[in-house]
Structure 1
Amino acid sequence: MADDDVAEGFGSGSEGGPGRRFEGRVALVTGASRGIGLAVARRIVAEGGRVAITGRDAGTLDDAVARLGADRALGVAGKADDAEHRAATIARTVERFGRLDHLVNNAGINPAYGPLAGLETGVARKILEVNVIAALEWTREAVDSAAPTGSPLRSIVNMASVAGTASGPNIAFYGVSKAALINLTVQLADELAPATRVNALAPAVVKTRLARALYEGREEQAAAAYPLRRLGVPDDVAGPAAFLLSDDAAWVTGQTLLVDGGASVRTAL
């Protein structure tokens, strides 16, 4: 699970330093005031890029911009499913940096925990609005806004979840929304080619605020399900995100990469 409402947790398992794959490039990362979104933004900046990040809490977002470097980052506070916020963010990004090359649809919510039988319909609609519809709208607006700059949007990464690939007790509708996002990735990859590549990441349990209910108080037990014997941290997702965004993945589109500590190799047939 991974989205914008996440806690700190840097500390990648990668030992190699970053290259300069985003030199001269600009990325927009939604839900990036902390956690996975911030880790992705930090990786882009470390590799020479500039970023615009969004988040719901202005204070937390300001702190994230300071950590990234005010000369390399722009923060715009707001809700991912708010049309005015989307328009303002993209406009300010292009105004500040002159271009938009990459989009990471990381913002997402899971306000419900429990069986589907008890899920309120209004909550289900809200989950779809933020996790799926907003990702589509960010994509359409980013593509439209990048075109007049003379450099079309190069790549998109949608932050899905392993919950979108199998049943997930107590987070079932979150999984439904992520399954929809995975299919949206496939559809957009076909429609936006060849100018824009679209891929997705499907993390398992990453130590974030959103996922705390899945591991807090029993982390060792939860980690035992993974062949790599630990839960993920945000930097474990940032590396694969940077790869899919970069030209290293220039012949990759419409794919969903599992980032799951090896858990999927134990799936019963």
Structure 2
Amino acid sequence: MSADTARRFEGHTAIVTGASRGIGLGIAERLVADGARVVITARKKEALDAAVTHLIELAGGERVAIAVAGKADDTDHQAETVRTAIETFGSIDLLVNNTGINPVYGPLVDLDLDAARKVVEVNCVAAVSWVQQVHRAWMAEHGGAIVNVSSLSSVRTAPNIGFYGASKAMLNSLTELLAVELGPKVRVNGVAPAVVKTRFAAALYEGHEEQAAQAYPLKRLGDPDDVAGVVAFLLSPDAAWLTGQTVLIDGGVSLTAGD
């Protein structure tokens, strides 16, 4: 990390959803390293508390992180998180919509429709609701930057997780619409990772990681840090003239012929 970016989020507060582990925690780590204070959310309080302890340790003991446990699609939880962020840190300058679920696997003709509705509720509707909450509470007046975490499957067919990909394609569209509606004060962008080595994606690579990596021109799968660096860029002043874009972070695999 260069000296120019080391504290670029000094005095800024970020909400990162789904951040007790994996990509979300990686993003929170990067934002703290760049000087931000973070409010992290997830369902399990114990995991969140451990993540907060870890983030504070990274900051040398400075109280730069707090957690609010709850379900991402619960508007009361969202409101509590927003209120807590402002009461504790005084602002909400950055939002990362990282929460996503994929409880269904298999062809669309066998899709559990109730599960599909829940996927859309969490991956799409909740993302819009989080934006509404932070916009009304802070960003409408003070401005800010938002990043939505999508997936490579939103732009490239992914057998057996197709509905998850479809929900992320909707999120990409929402990113574009929000960018138009919220400019010029608020920028909205997205990232679309391929397979990143997390518990969420474990079924896609565990036991055959080296083989899976051969499909990628860079010959490796992603790490949370790979995503976190791009998210930090999109939230930063370095991306001041960038909005409505969803950036592929995929080790080049989208350039290949696929299966």
Q: Which category describes the TM-score, using the shorter chain as reference length? A: over 0.9
Distance 1:201 1:39 in 2: 14
Distance 1:267 1:185 in 2: 27
Mapping for residues 31-50 of structure 1, pairs under 5 Å: 31-50=18-37
Q: 1:67 aligns with which of 51, 54, 61?
A: 54
Contact 2:139 2:185 survives alignment (8 Å)? no
What's the CA shift string for 1:158-188, capped at 9, x where partnerless? Answer: 0000000021101000000000000000000
Aligned to 2:244: 254
Aligned to 2:142: 151
Distance 1:170 1:220 in 2: 21
Aligned to 2:216: 226
Equivalent position amino acid for 2:39 in 1 = A
Shift, 1:147, TM fit: 4.5
> What RMSD in Å do the two structures reach over aligned CA positions?
1.3
Q: 2:194 aligns with which of 204, 208, 213?
A: 204
Aligned to 1:81: 73
Q: 1:132 aligns with which of 114, 124, 131?
A: 124
TM-score normalised by structure 2 residue count: 0.94
Aligned to 1:176: 166
Moved over 2 A (4+): 15-18
What's the CA shift string for 1:43-95, capped at 9, x where partnerless? Answer: 11111110000011100000000011160001000010011100100000011
Aligned length: 252
Bigger shift: residues 154-163 or 67-76: 67-76
Distance 2:79 2:50 in 1: 23
Query: Equivalent residue of 1:157, what SS?
Result: strand
Aligned to 1:240: 230
Q: 2:207 aligns with which of 209, 217, 220?
A: 217
Query: Equivalent residue of 2:38, what SS?
Result: strand
Bigger shift: residues 210-219 or 120-129: 210-219
Equivalent position amino acid for 1:151 in 2 = H
Equivalent position amino acid for 2:38 in 1 = V
Say whether 1:109 aligns with 2:96.
no
Query: Equivalent residue of 1:48, what SS?
Result: coil
Q: Which has the higher contact order (CA 8 A, sep 6+)?
A: 1
Unaligned 5+ runs, structure 2: 57-61
Distance 2:178 2:48 in 1: 29
Equivalent position amino acid for 2:34 in 1 = E
Equivalent position amino acid for 2:177 in 1 = Q
Equivalent position amino acid for 2:235 in 1 = L
Query: Equivalent residue of 1:194, what SS?
Result: coil
Shift, 1:151, TM fit: 2.2
Distance 1:31 1:59 in 2: 14
Shift, 1:114, TM fit: 1.1
Unaligned 5+ runs, structure 1: 1-14
Name the % identity. Answer: 56
Distance 1:79 1:55 in 2: 7
Distance 1:248 1:267 in 2: 33
Query: Equivalent residue of 1:74, what SS?
Result: strand
TM-score normalised by structure 1 residue count: 0.91
